[in-house]
Amino acid sequence: MKSKLTAVALAAVVVAGTAATAIPASAATAKAEPTRCLIADLEAGFAMGDGAKPEMGQTENQTQAYIWFTNKSKRTCTLSGFAGVDMVGAQTTDGTWSLARSSEAPTKFTLEQGDTVDFSITLLPVAKSTPQKEKFVPATFLVTPPNETKHFTLKWPFGGQILKQDGATRPATYLNPIGQ
């Protein structure tokens, strides 16, 4: 009886071993798609390189500031869409200005550990002589990553003033999607 039981057990092992090798290797190693980046995964800041600084001293044309997100986590994650950006003014009359979005279409970005992606904010600087009620003096930016509810608080490092258009339907100061 013992040898019959051993033979049945041995046959089960052989069948199980055959079944296990029938699974394709690619199915066993398939990775799950990365999920979106959470605020805890990211660091943020203003781009400070020479070509990235907005020209706040000129008042004839729009200029751009860039904000970057870097994946500081050990996992791969994705960012897509628009960040939320609220500018908080330095003057008591400024208040908070929630920036409008451009009409540009967003692209999805996959960020591995240490990867960075940025987005631009188009600004319309004005002269210091512009009447106070027509200018907005940025102090801090509240930057919320796409699909998040918490924000980073970034101090505005570039000085200058922006034409106040917080109630305009097509303001000259607006933000672009991630990667643009």
Averaged pLDDT score across all residues of the chain: 86
Q: DSSP letter for 130, please.
A: S
Burial of 19 (0-12, 13-18, 19+ CB in 10 A): exposed
Contacts of 57 (CB under 8 A, 6+ apart): 125, 160
So what's the pLDDT on residue 168? 87
SS3 67: strand
Model confidence at 167, pLDDT cuts 50, 70, 90, reads confident
The pTM assigned to this predicted structure is: 0.81
Left if phi > 0, otherwise alpha if psi is -120 to 50, otherwise beta: which for 21?
Answer: alpha
Over residues 69-94, the pLDDT tens digits come to: 999 999 999 999 999 999 999 988 89
DSSP 149-171: S--EEEE--S--EEE--TT-SS-
So what's the pLDDT on residue 2? 42
User: Is the separation of the CB atoms in 151 and 168 below 8 Å?
Assistant: no
Distance CA 171, CA 104 (A): 15
Q: Is the pLDDT of residue 11 over 60?
A: no
So what's the pLDDT on residue 28? 47
Distance CA 159, CA 21 (A): 66
So what's the pLDDT on residue 29? 55
Over residues 91-135, the pLDDT tens digits come to: 888 999 999 999 999 999 999 999 999 999 999 999 889 998 899
Distance CA 172, CA 12 (A): 74
Residues 52-73, mean pLDDT to the nearest whole number: 96
Residues 20-39, mean pLDDT to the nearest whole number: 67
Distance CA 109, CA 178 (A): 8
So what's the pLDDT on residue 166? 84
So what's the pLDDT on residue 30? 60
Computed from CA positions of residues 37, 46, 96, 170, in that sequence, does the dihedral angle turn out positive or negative?
A: negative
